[in-house]
A and B are shown apart, each in its own frame.
Chain A
Amino acid sequence: MSEAMTSSSEALGAAVAVRAEGASVILGGRMLWSAVDLAVPTGSFVAVLGPNGVGKSTLVRALLGSIPLRTGRLTVLGRPPGAASHEIGYLPQRRSFEPGLRVRGIDIVRLGLDGDRWGMPLMGSSRVSRRARAAAERVAEVIELVGASSYARRPIGGLSGGEQQRLLIAQALVRRPRLMLLDEPLDSLDLPNQGAIAALLARISREHQVTVMMVAHDVNPILPYLDRVVYLAGGSAVEGSPREVITGATLSRLYSAAIEVLETSDGRLVVVGEPEAPHHHSARHDGQ
Chain B
Amino acid sequence: MSPHLGWNPARDASQLLTYHFMLNALCAGTIVAVMAGVIGWWMVLRRQSFVGHTLAVVGFPGASGAVWLGLSATWGYFGFCVAAATVIAGLPGRPAMGGFSEESSVIGTVQALALASGFLFASLYGGFLNGTTALLFGSFLGVTNGQVWALLAVAVAALGALVAIGRPLLFASVDPYVAEARGVPVRALSFAFVILLGLAAAEASQITGTLLVFALLVMPAAAAQQLTVRLARSLWLSVVIAVLVTWLGLGVAYFSKYPAGFYITTFGFAAYLLAAASRMIAARSGRWGNVMPRTAASLPTAASRP
A123 touches B236 (CB 8 A): yes
Known: A171-B175, A200-B302, A202-B305. 4 other contacts (CB 8 A): A102-B229, A102-B234, A120-B164, A196-B301
Interface centre among A101, A103, A112, A122 (most CB of B within 10 A): A103
- CB neighbours (8 Å) of A153 from chain B are 229
A118 touches B164 (CB 8 A): yes
Surface stretch bound by A, among B108-116, B197-205, B290-298 = B290-298
Is residue A253 contacting chain B, with contact meaning CB distance below 8 A? no
**Closest-CB distance, A193 to chain B (whole angstroms):** 5
Taking beta carbons and an 8 Å cutoff, which residues of A are in contact with B? 64, 66, 82, 85-86, 88, 90-92, 95, 97-98, 101-104, 107-108, 111-112, 114-124, 145-147, 150-151, 153-155, 163, 171-172, 190, 192-193, 195-197, 199-200, 202-203, 206, 224-225
- CB neighbours (8 Å) of A111 from chain B are 167, 170-171, 174-175, 178-179
Contact with A along B153-178 (1 / 0, CB 8 A): 00000000011111110110011011
Cα–Cα, bound, A115→B165 (Å): 10
- CB neighbours (8 Å) of A104 from chain B are 229-231
A119 touches B305 (CB 8 A): no
**Which 8 residue pairs of A and B lie closest in terms of their CB atoms, listed nearest first?**
A120-B166, A115-B171, A203-B302, A123-B232, A192-B296, A199-B302, A196-B299, A90-B181
A121 touches B178 (CB 8 A): no
A92 touches B298 (CB 8 A): no
B288 touches A101 (CB 8 A): no
Contact with A along B211-242 (1 / 0, CB 8 A): 00000000000000110011111101000000
Is residue B257 contacting chain A, with contact meaning CB distance below 8 A? no
Q: Which of B45, B181, B288 contacts A154 (CB 8 A)?
A: B288
Is residue B12 contacting chain A, with contact meaning CB distance below 8 A? no
- CB neighbours (8 Å) of A121 from chain B are 166-167, 232
Is residue B183 contacting chain A, with contact meaning CB distance below 8 A? yes
Question: Whose C-beta in chain B lies nearest to the C-beta of A122?
Answer: B232
B178 touches A171 (CB 8 A): yes
Cα–Cα, bound, A150→B236 (Å): 27
Is residue B252 contacting chain A, with contact meaning CB distance below 8 A? no
Cα–Cα, bound, A98→B45 (Å): 11
- CB neighbours (8 Å) of A172 from chain B are 178
A150 touches B292 (CB 8 A): yes
Cα–Cα, bound, A103→B299 (Å): 24
Cα–Cα, bound, A123→B230 (Å): 10
Cα–Cα, bound, A197→B305 (Å): 14
B294 touches A147 (CB 8 A): yes
Question: Whose C-beta in chain A lies nearest to the C-beta of B162?
Answer: A120
Give me 29 A-to-B residue pairs in the complex whose CB atoms sit less than 8 angstroms apart, sorted by A's number.
Answer: A85-B181, A85-B183, A86-B182, A102-B45, A102-B229, A104-B230, A107-B174, A111-B167, A111-B171, A111-B179, A115-B168, A115-B170, A116-B167, A116-B168, A116-B171, A117-B167, A119-B166, A150-B292, A151-B291, A154-B229, A163-B294, A172-B178, A196-B299, A199-B299, A199-B301, A202-B305, A206-B305, A225-B302, A225-B305
Is residue B127 contacting chain A, with contact meaning CB distance below 8 A? no
**Closest-CB distance, A171 to chain B (whole angstroms):** 7
**Closest-CB distance, A116 to chain B (whole angstroms):** 5
Question: Whose C-beta in chain B lies nearest to the C-beta of A196?
Answer: B299
A120 touches B288 (CB 8 A): no
Cα–Cα, bound, A102→B223 (Å): 12
- CB neighbours (8 Å) of B170 from chain A are 111, 115
**Closest-CB distance, B230 to chain A (whole angstroms):** 7
- CB neighbours (8 Å) of B165 from chain A are 118, 120
B177 touches A116 (CB 8 A): no
- CB neighbours (8 Å) of B174 from chain A are 97, 101, 103, 107-108, 111
- CB neighbours (8 Å) of B163 from chain A are 119-120
A147 touches B182 (CB 8 A): no
**Closest-CB distance, B27 to chain A (whole angstroms):** 25
Please report which residues of chain B, range 250-285, place their CB below 8 angstroms from some CB of chain A when the two chains form the complex: none
A86 touches B183 (CB 8 A): yes
**Closest-CB distance, A56 to chain B (whole angstroms):** 16
**Closest-CB distance, A168 to chain B (whole angstroms):** 8
Is residue B286 contacting chain A, with contact meaning CB distance below 8 A? no
Is residue B18 contacting chain A, with contact meaning CB distance below 8 A? no
Cα–Cα, bound, A147→B182 (Å): 25
Q: Which of B162, B175, B230 contacts A108 (CB 8 A)?
A: B175
A193 touches B296 (CB 8 A): yes
Cα–Cα, bound, A197→B30 (Å): 51
Question: Whose C-beta in chain A lies nearest to the C-beta of B279?
Answer: A102
B296 touches A114 (CB 8 A): no
Q: Which of B171, B179, B225, B292 contacts A102 (CB 8 A)?
A: B225
- CB neighbours (8 Å) of B234 from chain A are 102
Q: Which of B183, B295, B302 contacts A116 (CB 8 A)?
A: B183
